Amino acid sequence: MQESIIVEMIRVSKSYDKQKNVIKEMDLTIREGEFFVLVGPSGSGKSTLLRMIAGLEDITGGILKIGGRVVNHLPPKDRNISMVFQNYALYPHLNVEENILFGLKAKKVDKGERQRRLQEAAEMLGLERLLKRKPKELSGGQRQRVALARAIVSRAPLCLMDEPLSNLDAKLRANMRMEIRRLQQRLGLTTIYVTHDQVEAMTMGDRIMVLHDGKIQQVGEPIRLYNEPANTFVASFIGTPKMNMGNARYFPEKRELVVENRLSLPADPAGLDISPDRNVIVGIRPEHIRPGTAEDRTSELEVINVEQLGNETLLSFEVGKEIWTAKWPGQWKVKAGERVPVHIPIPFLHFFDRETGLLIKPAQSAHMREVEKV
């Protein structure tokens, strides 16, 4: 059975004053029941794109379809969508119940039906005891739950969320991430979620779209973007700490890969498969730079910074003009200024074209483990 397409964009563009292209001829489809995350740095165009889908921003060019119909010129109220904003957008003079039901009253939904939907949403989000309180009497997390409840009771098949957790503290954000995802799966909502936080994107999305300067950099499952980034921008944006990268050149006569004219890595030409005359950028994830041993080391590097996180240790090194980070499990007694042996395995290197930034060859040893069943 073919999955239904809820949102379709065909060469959609947005510009201001006919000069600045914020969104550039974008083609995209979002499937029914999908949790689709738009991620990118500030100014990348992700919130503008969401507002275009909502009808809060005009579309300069192209076609936008929701549920199979063209909605370019339809107002938000006619698009059958719900929205959850960063600032909650609650009416301060109304209590929780009135805020949740405000949209249903405007649509003249039957009172009995309104109460049924209110009770269901309040139970889902643990708001039963808060219905008579005003927004000023609620915590940030409780206010966000009210905004979610308002979206749920609308029964709209498409829910748009614009950085809904950015005003919450770290612990509450982690809890709310899980809560939103469980709610979305339970209700089968098609959700488009905007965030600048790539951890949110990785942990919540069925698929992620990475935006930069109004252009799609890559669309795919989170783990695919992590393991096979389409270019250097995606590689540096997805992952915490970010991927280590540096200019590199292969010297076949010495069987060496030299990074930033500083780091020499022994490399077998059979396993490398990179032309010696090609200008490349290599990248490696921090967790793939391993502690070196007497038998197994590729380099000795000077530590310039150490971050003890309890369950892991982050060590930073200078590699030419670049700062590289290694992430080692557990606690390591290392100080800045010390030289430590490291092992950088060639199979864990990504190779990118230096001119275009596009991926030439992903790391060969990054793959998902399976749980052994007893």
* 220-261 residue pLDDT tens: 999 999 999 999 999 999 999 999 999 999 988 888 999 999
Kindly state the average pLDDT of the residues 33-52: 93
Please, are residues 27 and 63 in contact by the beta-carbon 8 Å criterion?
no
- At residue 39, what are phi and psi to the nearest 5 degrees? -135, 150
Are 220 and 248 part of one and the same domain?
no
Query: Which CATH number does the domain housing residue 20 bear?
Result: 3.40.50.300
Are 195 and 261 part of one and the same domain?
no
Domain boundary among 230, 249, 274: 230
Are 18 and 145 part of one and the same domain?
yes
Are 140 and 49 part of one and the same domain?
yes
pLDDT score recorded for residue 218: 97
Q: Is residue 67 part of a domain?
A: yes
Residues of the chain with pLDDT > 90, as a percent, come to 68
* The length of the chain, given as a count of residues: 374
Asked if residue 85 has pLDDT above 70, the reply is yes
Give the domain extent around 101.
5-230
Asked if residue 367 has pLDDT above 70, the reply is no
Tell me 258's DSSP state. E
Are 205 and 265 part of one and the same domain?
no
Over the range 309-322, which residues count as b (16 or more CB within 10 Å of their CB) and which as e?
Answer: eeeebbbbbebeee
Are 30 and 170 part of one and the same domain?
yes
Q: Is residue 366 part of a domain?
A: no
Are 67 and 211 part of one and the same domain?
yes
> Please, what's the largest Cα pairwise distance for the chain?
81
- Residue 335 Cα distances to 5, 135, 224, 307, angstroms: 54, 49, 35, 10
Are 153 and 278 part of one and the same domain?
no
Are 59 and 186 part of one and the same domain?
yes
Are 207 and 160 part of one and the same domain?
yes
Asked if residue 2 has pLDDT above 50, the reply is no
Are 183 and 313 part of one and the same domain?
no
Q: Is residue 255 part of a domain?
A: yes
Q: Is residue 371 part of a domain?
A: no
More confident residue, 21 or 289: 289
Q: Is residue 315 part of a domain?
A: yes
What is the C-alpha end-to-end distance of the chain, expressed in Å?
Answer: 35
Asked if residue 306 has pLDDT above 90, the reply is yes
Kindly state the average pLDDT of the residues 143-153: 90
Q: How many structural domains is the chain composed of?
A: 2
Query: Which CATH number does the domain housing residue 285 bear?
Result: 2.40.50.140
Q: Is 125 helix (H, G, I), strand (E, B) or coil?
A: helix
pLDDT score recorded for residue 322: 94
Are 357 and 215 part of one and the same domain?
no
Tell me 292's DSSP state. P
Asked if residue 1 has pLDDT above 50, the reply is no
